[in-house]
Amino acid sequence: MSENKSIISPVPGIFYRKPSPDKEVFVNEGDSVKAGDVIGLIEVMKNFYEIKAEADGIVERFCVENEDIVDAGQEVAVMK
Amino acid sequence: MLRIREGGLWTTVQDMGRQGYYHLGLPPSGAADKYSFIIGNLLLGNPVECAGLEMTLLGPVIEFGKKTSIALTGASVQAFINNRPLPMWEVVAVDEGDVLSFRFCKKGVKSYLCVSGGIQVPEVLGSRSTYVLSRLGGHEGRKLGVGDELMIGEPLPGAFKQIGKRVPVEFIPEWNDAKNLRVVMGISGNRISDEGIKTFLDSEWIVSAESDRVAYRYMGSSISFEEHAPPFGAGSSSSNVVDFAYPIGALMVPNEGEVIVLLNDATSGGGFVTIGTVISPDLDLIAQSRPMTRCRFLTITVDQAIQARMERKKQLMRLDEILKEQG
């Protein structure tokens, strides 16, 4: 049995699922990722912060939409 | 020595700033929230010009290369020394090999790490402050990253006697989401219509996500310009005037839907209409305001602005005396 694990944004800002508007998303729901893989970006104060998977696993779902505003400490995705 | 294991979002070496070159196009840089920064040095018994680290929303991970004393001030963050919570606004001893790390910053933007004896990057034009846009000062003129090593001063004589000193709660700012920012009106305010000035002062403004150390942008209302024929040397837009030197704190109106406040890393001149200037103590509040939070602008006179500056100075002197009496 595997446990679900949250991916939290440590910074507030705008959440993006793509590296740039004309590129594909970093990952789709259901994709396998390795620890350290980027799953999204947060734009804040003219910086982009990379949100990374902390462990190997599967991205079960995203909890926020592309371009949603998130707060520091907010869950952005769930892994299993 | 400080060994940087992770850089955090935007961490730079800052001090009180590089004064005297703004007219040559070089802004002062320096700590964005001077009040919190100064208190860090006061706690440690450091000279006020000692350099520290300015951290933005997400702090770095730092290993200490020697025993010293530190103080963490500014935006309220969850900080840890070797996974043990680190109190803010208090002098704490650290040992060689201790690791400082951060989690979330829930209120405010800028936190400050001061160390006894200060951070010993070379001075450039009389200051250790980082000005990233010109890659000048600080550590190689840039924000800190993995593997950087910063020299720190020897702990000052008596540094370890300062341990446990802490700032009384009444001196610790509350980083409320709605702020009142005091403004001295003028410069080219005559180019804004009466209606525009009224809406500027009556409106609630929202901090935009693009705000940083160079400037803060505000949205949420609109300001109408006075009809006029542009003078020789000005651009053709209603928001243009003949180029002039902007003060730090200048409130520019580049278009009807936006106002911009220039901060410590600002461009030193240009040709936008400026409606007034935010007073220096309130620039600290701006630096601590997060994107999407609100503010209002209140007008005060030059005399009141000078009064406010004096009060800030007296408050810090009072705190210094209280800290000297502790322990």
> Which tens digits make up the pLDDT trace of A37-55?
999 999 999 889 999 998 9
Which pLDDT does position A2 carry in this prediction?
59
Q: Residue B239 CA to chain centroid, in angstroms? A: 27
Q: Is the dihedral of CA B93, B130, B21, B304 positive or negative?
A: negative
Domain count, chain B: 2
Which pLDDT does position B220 carry in this prediction?
92
Same domain, B37 and B156: yes
- Beta pairing, strands B294-299 & B178-185: parallel
Domain CATH for B205: 2.40.100.10
**Bigger pLDDT: A72 vs B42:** B42
Which pLDDT does position B20 carry in this prediction?
93
Residues of B in contact with A46 (CB under 8 A): 210, 212
B140 domain-assigned = yes
Residue of B nearest to A71 (CA): B106
Q: Of the residues B152, B175, B198, which one is the last residue of a structural domain?
A: B175
Same domain, B157 and B185: no
Which pLDDT does position B209 carry in this prediction?
86
Which residues of B lie inside 8 Å of A (Cβ-Cβ)? 9-10, 56-58, 103-106, 109, 209-212, 290-292
The rounded distance, in Å, linking the Cα atoms of B298 and B189 is 15
The rounded distance, in Å, linking the Cα atoms of B218 and B210 is 10
Fold of A5-79: OB fold (Dihydrolipoamide Acetyltransferase, E2P) (2.40.50)
Same domain, B168 and B269: no
Which pLDDT does position B47 carry in this prediction?
96
Same domain, B153 and B278: no
Same domain, B115 and B154: yes
- Residue B191 — φ and ψ, nearest 5°? -85, -5
The residue with tokens 């592309």 is: A66
Q: Of the residues B134, B150, B175, which one is the last residue of a structural domain?
A: B175
The rounded distance, in Å, linking the Cα atoms of A62 and A64 is 6
Q: Which domain holds residue B208?
A: 179-307
A58 touching chain B per CB within 8 A: no
How open is the CA angle A53-A13-B61, to the nearest 5 degrees?
55
For residue A35, the distance in angstroms to the closest alpha carbon of chain B comes to 17
Q: Residue B189 CA to chain centroid, in angstroms? A: 26
Residue of A nearest to B287 (CA): A45
Please check whether residue B316 is in contact with residue B201, taking contact to mean a CB–CB distance below 8 angstroms. no
The rounded distance, in Å, linking the Cα atoms of B70 and B102 is 15
**Is A12's CB within 8 Å of B103's CB?**
no
What is the gyration radius of the CA atoms in chain B, in angstroms? 21
Same domain, B150 and B9: yes
Whether pTM > 0.90 for this model: the answer is yes
What is the gyration radius of the CA atoms in chain A, in angstroms? 12
Average pLDDT along chain B, 327 residues, taken 10 residues at a time: 96 97 94 98 96 97 97 96 96 97 92 97 97 96 97 91 95 86 88 90 93 95 83 79 89 92 92 92 95 94 97 97 91
**Is B291's CB within 8 Å of A13's CB?**
yes
The rounded distance, in Å, linking the Cα atoms of B125 and B201 is 39
Indicate the residue of B103, B105, B211 with minimum beta-carbon distance to A45: B211
Its ipTM equals 0.83
**Is A10's CB within 8 Å of B292's CB?**
no
Q: What is the DSSP letter of B48?
A: T
Indicate the residue of A45, A47, A72 with minimum beta-carbon distance to B104: A72
Residue of B nearest to A8 (CA): B104
Q: Among B10, B11, B57, which would you mutate to test the A interface (most chain A Cβ atoms within 10 Å of its Cβ)?
A: B57
Domain ranges for chain A, please list them.
5-79
Which pLDDT does position B294 carry in this prediction?
94
Same domain, B37 and B163: yes
**Is A11's CB within 8 Å of B209's CB?**
no
Q: Among candidates B190, B163, B171, which has minimal Cα distance to B36?
A: B171
Same domain, B163 and B280: no
**Is B58's CB within 8 Å of A73's CB?**
no
A68 touching chain B per CB within 8 A: no
For residue A71, the distance in angstroms to the closest alpha carbon of chain B comes to 8
Q: Of the residues B125, B154, B175, which one is the last residue of a structural domain?
A: B175
**Is B212's CB within 8 Å of A13's CB?**
no
B239 domain-assigned = yes
Residue of B nearest to A48 (CA): B9
Q: Among A8, A44, A50, which would you mutate to test the B interface (most chain B Cβ atoms within 10 Å of its Cβ)?
A: A44
**Is B209's CB within 8 Å of A43's CB?**
yes
B138 domain-assigned = yes
Indicate the residue of B9, B212, B292 with minimum beta-carbon distance to A11: B9
Indicate the residue of A46, A69, A72 with minimum beta-carbon distance to B57: A72
Confidence of residue A1 (pLDDT cuts 50, 70, 90): very low
Q: Among A11, A14, A45, which would you mutate to test the B interface (most chain B Cβ atoms within 10 Å of its Cβ)?
A: A45
Cα separation values, B268 from B29, B71, B244, Å: 12, 33, 9
Same domain, B91 and B207: no
The rounded distance, in Å, linking the Cα atoms of B119 and B103 is 23
**CB pairs under 8 A, 24+ apart, for B308-313?**
B308/B182, B308/B279, B308/B281, B308/B282, B309/B279, B309/B280, B309/B281, B312/B35, B312/B281
The rounded distance, in Å, linking the Cα atoms of B248 and B246 is 7
Cα separation values, B156 from B14, B43, B59, B68, B296, Å: 19, 12, 25, 9, 43
